[in-house]
Amino acid sequence: MAFNEIARERRLTRWKREVRSFFGPWGVFFQGFLEHPVMVGSIIPSSRYTIRKMLEPVDWASCKLFVEYGPGVGTFCRPVLDRLPRDGTLLVIDTNPLFIDYLKRTIGDSRFIAVHGSAEDVEEIIRAHGFEHADYVLSGLPFSTLPDGVGPRIAAATHRAIRPGGAFLTYQFSKVAGNLSARYFGRVDTGFEWRNILPCCLAWAWKTEE
């Protein structure tokens, strides 16, 4: 690598570090969006109104494993951990190592597991951590911009991974995630939250008893 290229790479790395330091989690989130815009649905984390409404239908008393796709900088992680029983587990999956590294450094809860991987592999990932099924799976992935075929594969794998009576919780700026979930789940409840930037569509896809 030429000297100029090395110098430019060092300046870029220093700039990224300074941005993260100055803006905290918002800086990490923004950097993650710049590096992987297709996999990050927004440059702004979800509002507290979206978080509260999204998690409201969860039966926390019976939740042993809660999975999240695309946790970003942990906007949902802390509210989930606040509600999760002491013997429960929150397992998050993200393809961006920047987010996974940040979460491992900033969340010290023993119930928390962060995995660098793909939501398509959720079944293998939860089995690797000693579970047969998830009770709930939460996703803020931008299904409308994922590469062809990825969204359906994630939805199908999620349906197989969730126990009967559990649910796939999605929030997105469009109805794509909810419509996709309806192909695999027996019942889908929908909602909408205006107090978010941007306003987003919510969906709770329930796996009917088998």
Question: What is the tens place of the pLDDT at every residue in 160-188?
Answer: 999 999 999 999 989 999 999 999 999 99
**CATH at 188:** 3.40.50.150
Residue 16 lies in a domain: no
Whether 13 maps to a domain, the answer reads no
Mean pLDDT rounded to a whole number for the chain: 86
Q: Which residue has the higher pLDDT, 172 or 30?
A: 172
In the chain, the N- to C-terminal Cα span, in Å, equals: 58
pLDDT-derived band at 144 (thresholds 50, 70, 90) equals confident
Matching residue, tokens 């009917």 = 208
User: What are the strands of the beta sheet with 187-193, ordered from one edge?
Assistant: 112-116, 89-94, 65-69, 134-139, 162-172, 200-206, 187-193
68 has a pLDDT exceeding 60: yes
The values of phi and psi at residue 167, to 5°, are -150, 155
Question: Of residues 60 and 209, which shows the higher confidence score?
Answer: 60
In the predicted structure, residue 22 carries a pLDDT above the cut 50: no
Span 121-146, average pLDDT:
95
Please state, in angstroms and rounded to a whole number, the distance separating the CA atoms of residues 120 and 107. Answer: 24
User: Which range of residues forms the domain containing residue 143?
Assistant: 37-206
Residue that the structure tokens 């099924």 belong to:
133
Give the rounded percent of residues in the chain with a pLDDT score beyond 90. Answer: 70
Residue 8 in domain = no
* CA–CA separation, 131 and 89 (whole Å): 10
Per-residue confidence band for 30, with pLDDT thresholds at 50, 70 and 90? low
Number of domains in the chain: 1
Residue 4 clears pLDDT 60, i.e. is over it = no
Task: Give the pLDDT band of residue 21 (cuts 50, 70, 90).
Answer: very low
Q: Is residue 93 part of a domain?
A: yes
Instruction: Supply the pLDDT for residue 114.
Output: 98
In a domain, 15, yes or no: no
Predicted local distance difference test score (pLDDT) of residue 19 = 46
In this prediction, residues 150-162 reach a mean pLDDT of: 97
In a domain, 166, yes or no: yes
Residue 25 domain-assigned (yes or no) = no
Is 23 contained in some domain? no
Note the pLDDT of residue 198: 83
pTM of the model: 0.82
